[in-house]
Amino acid sequence: MRKIIIFIMALLCAVTTPYRLLAQTRVLTGKVMEKNGQPIAGASVIISQSNQGVVTDADGRFKITVPGNASVVFRSTGFTSQTVRVPQGMAELNIVLREDVTGLEEVIITGLSTSIKRSNLANAVATVSSRELEGVAPAQTFDGALEGKIPGAYINANTGAPGGGVSVKLRGVTSVYGNTQPLYVVDGVFVDNTATSGGLNTVTGALAGGSATSNQDNPSSRIADLRAEDIENIEILKGASAAAIYGSKAAAGVVVITTKKGKPGRTNLTLSQDAGVIEVRKLLGVRQFTADRAASLSSDSATSAALRQEFLDAQAAGHLYDYEKEVYGNKGFARNTVLSVSGGSEKTSFYFSAGQKDEAGIVKNTGYRNTGLRLNLEHHINDNIKIGVSTAYINSSADRGLSGNDNAGVSLGIALSSTPSFAQLHPDQFGNYPNNPFAASNPLQTIALMRNNEGVNRFITGLNLEAILQKSRNSTTKFIARGGFDFYNLETNVLFPGNLQFQAVNKGTSIQGTTRNLNDNFIASLVNIYTPSEKLSLTTSAGITQEQGDYNNLLNVATQVISSQSNVDQAGSLTAAQFRSKFENNGVFAQEEVAILDAINVTGGIRFDQSSNNGDVGKYYVYPKAGLSWNLTKMGIIREGFFENLKLRAAYGQANNVPAYGSKFTSLGVSNIAGFPGSLVGIQEGDPSIKPERQAEFETGIDFTVLKGRLGFELTYYDKTIKDFLMQGSLPSSSGFTSQWINAGDLRNRGLELGLNAKPVDTRKVSWNTSVNFWLNRSLVTRFIIPPVPQGSFGYVLGSFQIEQGKSATQILGLDGTGGVSKLGDGEPKFQMNSYNEVTFFNKLSLRFLLHWKFGGDNVNLTNLENDFGGTSADYDKVTNKLGLPNGIYRISQIGTSARMFVQDASYFRVREIGIYYSFDKLPVNSVKSIRVGVSLNNFITVTRYPSYDPEVSNFGAGFSSGVDVDPYPASKRADFHVSIGF
């Protein structure tokens, strides 16, 4: 009863409040500017302790009705907010906002529908702004653009092939054969990042046993489809303590992507054009042949003599070639055009963009094209209801060539590895390529005739509804619904015509794949913000979530293809493979955030999750989270002086990773013979009781700024454990199964992240913003219930990963040269550092660069082995070993005795991106507002001792075992020229 009375009183109070305010109001106008006088558009101007506010227009101007004796808060992204008391009688107010060097003002999304200022955050959340993402030296694809930019992440490009393919591991490996890649969320839509094989294994046989696909087929990641130009900002929730509220699929972290939105005011039209050139980052060089060296390629005396003669003939005719340079030496032209229009009124705002990029690769007939359209709309139906829709259409096409491991001698690198300079591979006058007598394929012919294309049509649409259900002076209740779908159709088109040297058996192979994928998800929540006094604010949210996925991949493999045809019916033999998967995850969550004195922030939340992929589909798993941040200076415990904003923080959370679809079934595959349909027990045993793996993360840290906000520090320590990690455990294969998805044990990652933001130079003429980050991670397998076996590579002879209790999860074991197997290395970097810098001169000329240093972390390099083995490595004849043998021969003699020479340090220091831009903003023509020109270099300078093409490589794609190097598509670097015109 008492509660009801209080409630009614509160309601009355709420209803009467506006009238009280109205009684003494007046109008305040003014302008919000940067230090140099540039107007700040879209800044929010809010009456302190209220829900009322406006935003500034394109000229930075605002007009607001304020009560008699009020404080007004001015806020804008990238600037330190400022609260100003507006005394009675003041009618005009101009405000200069200071740049937020340390990022403390940034608003970070902490729940599915709530957010908080960074200065009050309990987690270390990394953010990447639009400028950092694509404003320095743009990468080809979105995933490539993340490289070197996320402290706490180990990001590794799998391949240099056009169209991307990058592995992102946040705070160490979180799973072994479960999903190690983060969840990507674009404007509330969970987007799919499946890598779908085009069936290259049919031709390469990289995985023995006749399967059409393998994890060595080198497909791109679907996240590469996104266009970096449309992205406003990215937040990276690196572990469960921050990501817990995303529940299922969040165990590997969450990458929250927000696309650009229109702002009220004048319509801005920007046209940007980039043009550039792409070339190989590094070539390995080739062996310099002599008559003797040519003769030594065969142990048979007659053949040896013939080879000698072949070399002499080629030399006399001037027909010695550097085939590595011919194959990988193409200079690809790259262009990118983007048109964007944004603007809007108080009620409706929009952002529209259209863009197309077209880039050729370092191998002829490879390249990447991406065409995208985006329309983002926001509309206020009335003061209380806001809807938003963001839509994107993407059409991408990647010609990826043929690279990586194979057992048929067909991939370009493998063919090159045994092809000496005196081989004659060029076509005759009729365009017929000769067979390569030194390899199973003629790489020049392969490049000219083959096709390996991935074509994508993709729609991503997000919807967003915010309705204020109740609003009073100190309480606001909102209903927030977000959701959307991600649909794509992927066509893989692989063709190897019958006249290729290696098509002697299959006489032409055409592999046509169609993949249809639909993901949809929604979040519906209620949020209440209750501010009983200036000192206390409570944000309560609760809601439900659902995610569904439906994936259908159909692969048709035709062989004996009729000459010049590619349709699969134009063939003598046709085999099809189909794979489907579906899932539904349901979740319920509740979260409470308490802010006391704007200095203590306490967050607690809980989530219940079920998934159709779990063994028990009905069971709800429970995942809690909690966080605390305590700002000592705001509390007055430490007097603001040398230290400002000294904050202690700690957070804990749990999240899960659901098992892969199908892990609970023991299936029978199709295996036919002479037209009789056969069922053969698959090699994977199902586990009907499979559970999600559960990650629990604790992180703690201290943040502070000194020198009046010009220098900010952020120190974080985390400890995250993965319980019941999912793994395709090896079974004794005599059971008939070689693997089983199991919850194999527990894994721990501990690490440190140190960040520094500073503005060392800040004068009227020159300013320099810099950030330096240092991070490291160490993993440990704390429990492992199955016996350790080598995995993820090619066994002990060549060096292999092995999960073992009490050892690092990424240790590399191999033959140690003394008859045993020992640890030879570890895939985990010892530490990484990056530094992003922006130096501005006269507000016009801007120099930006991103440095990235990865120290330590070993690869299994088999590329050089292939070259030694084929007798073509550049240093084959050098003698630097203790036995006094030519190096090539020495290294081959070590195979089977020691794997040490394959496990190599893959440290590197890179100037990832560097760009210099000049802006013209006072132009004689009225119609043009500004022009910006610039030049940039992407991945141009690398310092490394790693002897293969690039330390970033992964023959097995984006899974657990990255860093295995088998004749990849070499990495490229690029130089671009940029023009951007604002109308």
Partner 1 sequence: MQRLFQIPILFILLVMLAFSSCRKDYGNLNSPTVEQFLSNASQSQLNNLVSGAESGMRTNTALYLDDAGTIGREGYRFSASEPRYVTDLLGANDGTLSSSNFYITNPWASRYQVVKNCNVLIQAATASTLITAAQRNGYTGFARMIKAYQLLLNLNLTDSNGIRIDVSDPDALGPIVGYNDALAAISSLLDSAQTDLTGAEVVFSLAGFAGFSDAPGLLKVDRALAARVDVYRGLWANALNDLNSSFFGLTADFYLGVNHVFGTGSGDQLNPAFIPQNQNGEVRVAHPSYATDIESGDDRIGKATLRTSTASLNGLSSNRDVWVYTSSTANMPIIRNEELILIYAEAKIQLSAFTDALTALNTIRAGHNLAPYGGTVDQPSLITEMLNQRRYSLFYEGHRWIDMRRYGLLGQLPIDRVGDNVWSEFPLPVSEQQ
Residue from 63, 580, 878, 945 touching partner 1 (CB under 8 A): that is: 580
Tokens of 121: 């955050």
Q: Does 559 sit near partner 1 (CB under 8 A)?
A: yes
Amino acid code (one letter) for 774? F
Q: Which is nearer to partner 1, 507 or 910 (CB)?
A: 507
Residue from 89, 673, 765, 922 touching partner 1 (CB under 8 A): that is: 673
Beta carbon of residue 509, minimum distance to partner 1 (angstroms, whole number): 12
Tokens of 63: 């007009």
* 359 touches 369 (CB < 8 A): yes
Q: What is the 3-state secondary structure (H, E, C) of 296-339?
A: CCCCCHHHHHHHHHHHHHHHHCCCCCCHHHHHHCCCEEEEEEEE
Distances in Å between the Cα of 54 and the Cα atoms of 61, 160, 980 are 10, 48, 31
**Which residue is it, tokens 């009227």?**
764
Part of the chain binding partner 1 (CB under 8 A), chosen from 147-155, 190-198, 566-574, 826-834: 566-574
Q: Residue 299: CB partners within 8 Å, gap ≥ 6?
A: none
Q: Does 579 sit near partner 1 (CB under 8 A)?
A: yes
* Residues within window 145-184 making contact with partner 1, judged by CB under 8 A: none
Q: Does 306 sit near partner 1 (CB under 8 A)?
A: yes
* CA pseudo-torsion sign 217, 520, 725, 170: positive
Residue from 12, 27, 504, 941 touching partner 1 (CB under 8 A): that is: 504
Q: Does 290 sit near partner 1 (CB under 8 A)?
A: no
Q: Which is nearer to partner 1, 4 or 925 (CB)?
A: 4
Residue from 58, 408, 594, 715 touching partner 1 (CB under 8 A): that is: 408
Residue from 20, 347, 582, 844 touching partner 1 (CB under 8 A): that is: 582
**Interatomic CA distance for residues 22 and 472, integer angstroms:** 14
Q: Which is nearer to partner 1, 303 or 563 (CB)?
A: 303
- Per DSSP bridges, beta strands 972-982 and 265-280 are antiparallel
Residue from 459, 665, 717, 855 touching partner 1 (CB under 8 A): that is: 665
Distance of CA 809 to the CA centre of its chain: 22
Q: Which is nearer to partner 1, 267 or 733 (CB)?
A: 733
Residues forming beta bridges with residue 902, ordered by sequence position: none
> x-or-dash pattern for partner 1, window 604-633, by CB under 8 A?
----x-x-x----xx-x-------------
Q: Which is nearer to partner 1, 146 or 206 (CB)?
A: 206
Beta carbon of residue 966, minimum distance to partner 1 (angstroms, whole number): 9
Q: Which is nearer to partner 1, 683 or 715 (CB)?
A: 683
- Render the burial of 224-255: b for 16+ CB within 10 Å, e for the rest: bbbbbbbbbbbbbbbbbbbbbbbbbbbbbbbb
**Which residue is it, tokens 């994508």?**
456
Q: Does 1 sit near partner 1 (CB under 8 A)?
A: no
Phi/psi at 573 (5° precision): -150, 140
Q: Which of 477, 407, 40 is nearest to 206 (CA)?
A: 407
Vertex 53, ends 52 and 56: CA angle to 5°? 175
Beta carbon of residue 727, minimum distance to partner 1 (angstroms, whole number): 14
Q: Which is nearer to partner 1, 78 or 795 (CB)?
A: 795
Beta carbon of residue 296, minimum distance to partner 1 (angstroms, whole number): 10
Residue from 12, 317, 668, 923 touching partner 1 (CB under 8 A): that is: 668
Residue from 1, 208, 316, 925 touching partner 1 (CB under 8 A): that is: 208
Beta carbon of residue 371, minimum distance to partner 1 (angstroms, whole number): 33
Q: Does 191 sit near partner 1 (CB under 8 A)?
A: no
Q: Does 120 sit near partner 1 (CB under 8 A)?
A: no
Q: Does 636 sit near partner 1 (CB under 8 A)?
A: no
Q: Does 530 sit near partner 1 (CB under 8 A)?
A: yes
Residue from 666, 782, 805, 919 touching partner 1 (CB under 8 A): that is: 666
* 58 touches 31 (CB < 8 A): no
Tokens of 950: 């690039």
Helix (H/G/I), strand (E/B), else coil: 5: helix
Residue from 12, 91, 622, 670 touching partner 1 (CB under 8 A): that is: 670
Q: Does 17 sit near partner 1 (CB under 8 A)?
A: no
* Residues within window 538-557 making contact with partner 1, judged by CB under 8 A: 538, 540, 542-544
- C-alpha neighbours within 13 Å on the C-beta side of residue 44: 13
* Residues within window 696-755 making contact with partner 1, judged by CB under 8 A: 730-738
**Interatomic CA distance for residues 960 and 957, integer angstroms:** 9
Q: Does 11 sit near partner 1 (CB under 8 A)?
A: yes
Helix (H/G/I), strand (E/B), else coil: 561: strand
**Interatomic CA distance for residues 486 and 476, integer angstroms:** 32
* 72 touches 25 (CB < 8 A): no
Residue from 576, 637, 785, 879 touching partner 1 (CB under 8 A): that is: 576
* Residues within window 259-288 making contact with partner 1, judged by CB under 8 A: none
Q: Which is nearer to partner 1, 13 or 27 (CB)?
A: 13
Q: Does 672 sit near partner 1 (CB under 8 A)?
A: yes
**Interatomic CA distance for residues 265 and 349, integer angstroms:** 9
Q: Which is nearer to partner 1, 560 or 837 (CB)?
A: 560
Q: Which is nearer to partner 1, 563 or 578 (CB)?
A: 578
Residue from 790, 799, 829, 970 touching partner 1 (CB under 8 A): that is: 790
Part of the chain binding partner 1 (CB under 8 A), chosen from 277-285, 457-465, 683-691, 822-830: 683-691
* 676 touches 726 (CB < 8 A): no
Q: Does 426 sit near partner 1 (CB under 8 A)?
A: no
Q: Which is nearer to partner 1, 40 or 415 (CB)?
A: 415
* Residues within window 882-921 making contact with partner 1, judged by CB under 8 A: 892-897
Residue from 584, 719, 762, 816 touching partner 1 (CB under 8 A): that is: 584
Distances in Å between the Cα of 184 and the Cα atoms of 243, 343, 458, 582, 658 are 12, 27, 15, 19, 16
Q: Which is nearer to partner 1, 335 or 783 (CB)?
A: 783
Part of the chain binding partner 1 (CB under 8 A), chosen from 82-90, 184-192, 583-591, 928-936: 583-591
Residue from 82, 115, 315, 435 touching partner 1 (CB under 8 A): that is: 435
Distances in Å between the Cα of 656 and the Cα atoms of 110, 206, 370, 805 are 18, 33, 34, 22
> x-or-dash pattern for partner 1, window 852-881, by CB under 8 A?
-------------xx--xx-----------
**Interatomic CA distance for residues 609 and 251, integer angstroms:** 13
* 409 touches 204 (CB < 8 A): no
Report which DSSP code applies to 538: E
Q: Does 671 sit near partner 1 (CB under 8 A)?
A: yes
Helix (H/G/I), strand (E/B), else coil: 873: coil
**Interatomic CA distance for residues 414 and 407, integer angstroms:** 9
Beta carbon of residue 263, minimum distance to partner 1 (angstroms, whole number): 33
Q: Which is nearer to partner 1, 395 or 477 (CB)?
A: 477
Residue from 19, 674, 764, 924 touching partner 1 (CB under 8 A): that is: 674
* CA pseudo-torsion sign 559, 562, 564, 566: negative
* Residues within window 452-471 making contact with partner 1, judged by CB under 8 A: 470
Q: Does 567 sit near partner 1 (CB under 8 A)?
A: no
Distances in Å between the Cα of 895 and the Cα atoms of 163, 431, 543, 795, 892 are 35, 41, 59, 12, 5
Residue from 303, 345, 384, 567 touching partner 1 (CB under 8 A): that is: 303
Tokens of 200: 């290259």
**Which residue is it, tokens 């009614």?**
8
Distance of CA 26 to the CA centre of its chain: 50
Residue from 317, 622, 681, 941 touching partner 1 (CB under 8 A): that is: 681
